[in-house]
Amino acid sequence: MRISILHYTLLFSIFPLLISCQESKTVAGFPATVSVPSERVDIEGYPPIYIGGYGSDMAYNRADSSFWLLTDRGPNVDGATIHSKVFPLADYTPHIGVFKWKGDSLCLIRKIMLRENDSTFFCGLPRTTGEGITGEKAYAPGGSEIITAERKGIDTEGLAVSPDGTFWVSDEYGPYLLHFNADGILIEEYSPFNGKLPAHYALRQPNRGMEGLCIDNDGKRLYGIMQSPLDGDCPEIFKTNIPLLVIDTESGACREYAYTPDSRECGVSALVYLNDTTLLVLERDGKFPGDGEVCKRIYRITLPDTDTPCLLSKTLVADLLQVCPGYDHDKPEGMALINNSTLGVVNDDDFGIEATVPAGCRYRQKLKNNGRTDRNEIFFFGF
């Protein structure tokens, strides 16, 4: 039932351009919405999986007009017990898809597979030993536990592309901030375990680690934000507010702030850099539009000059349900500045699958309220 790493490497490294280009009408130079190309993977007895999964974050490279889309850790759904996860493709490697426009189509140009070193690819499975343990256990469809000691797992959530061609990825397991070279090989790692991130970040809630990420125009200042408030014996300010971190990439010096979500159901999914003290924050809940009151909002925040964590004020910039007519996804998670007045937002489609109800060791198709399978789309709008 598992796809081997050789099969996976052939499928996603040798034949990336077999993925079809998707048509999209354009408005004023940018489409209102465009589907992200994906490849269908079938496992006998189960609904299809769509790879992709390019919804964890997005960056736009103005130098060559390319879209960098980050995958999640791989297809997975909740299992039968708390903190159990079912992984249909245990050999999946988190990666970045680089896309460009060709005519009226968004096309995959290349993939950057994330690697621990020259020869070892990361996987997306939860770590069971050492630092960054979440308490999650991985199972194959059918219920057998998946044990891997050969490859480290990362839960990729945030992406920031530096002007020197390297890039940063935030991870929910540790949490970690991972710096990669242009080929996707790890250069350095920031974590609460090696002293490069504040120690209390290790008190993140399971599956609620470092979520949003962006970088300044010179690549010297990195901004990261957790998804939710911290757990356990953390600083008082972060028990109900979300930590936001600014790191000087040359000196390693850190500065912290506290972001207040709209409600306990809401978390932060993405950051966008406007200038050294002004960011955009994408805040969301996990509901589909139509399931009662929902939160899919973008706020502007200003970072004061302070040496101690303080609460940030926020100003509403856009409600996705108002600026994106027909928006019908549950998880907007990636956001990028396209030009000085245009934003793009991409959703996490969970690879088109979700847990059965009640959760067990199987999975079903993830459907939107219109009955269609949830797939990756980018929405463009002015702000």
**Per-position pLDDT tens, the chain of length 383:** 444 433 444 344 433 333 334 443 444 477 899 999 999 999 999 999 999 999 999 999 999 999 999 999 999 999 999 989 999 999 999 999 999 988 777 999 999 999 999 999 999 999 888 888 888 999 999 999 998 777 999 999 999 999 999 999 999 999 999 999 999 999 999 999 999 999 999 999 988 999 999 999 999 999 999 999 999 999 999 999 999 999 999 999 999 999 999 999 999 999 999 999 999 999 999 999 999 999 999 999 999 999 899 999 999 999 999 999 999 999 999 999 999 999 999 999 999 999 999 988 999 999 999 999 999 999 999 99
Query: What letters, b where the CB count within 10 A reaches 16 and e where it falls short, cover 89-120?
Result: bbbbbbbbbbbebeeebbebeebbbbbbeeee
pLDDT, tens digit, 9 for 90 and up, residues 25-84: 444 477 899 999 999 999 999 999 999 999 999 999 999 999 999 999 999 999 999 989
Identify the three-state secondary structure at position 28. Answer: coil
Structure tokens at 249: 């990439």
CATH number at residue 251: 2.120.10
Q: What are phi and psi of 201, to 5 degrees?
A: -70, -20
- State how many domains the chain has: 1
Partners of residue 28 on adjacent β-strands: none
Domain that holds residue 337: 5-382
Task: Please report which residue ranges of the chain form alpha helices under DSSP H.
Answer: 5-9, 320-323
Give the integer Cα–Cα distance in Å for 71 and 286: 18
pLDDT, tens digit, 9 for 90 and up, residues 244-256: 999 999 999 999 9
**Residue 131 amino acid letter:** E
Cβ pair 334, 58 in contact under 8 A? yes
Give the integer Cα–Cα distance in Å for 127 and 309: 30
**Residue 333 amino acid letter:** E
Q: What share of the chain is helix, strand, coil (3-state, %, to 5)?
A: 5, 45, 50
Q: In 3D, which of 342, 289, 297, 274 has the Cα closest to residue 32? A: 342
DSSP 309: -
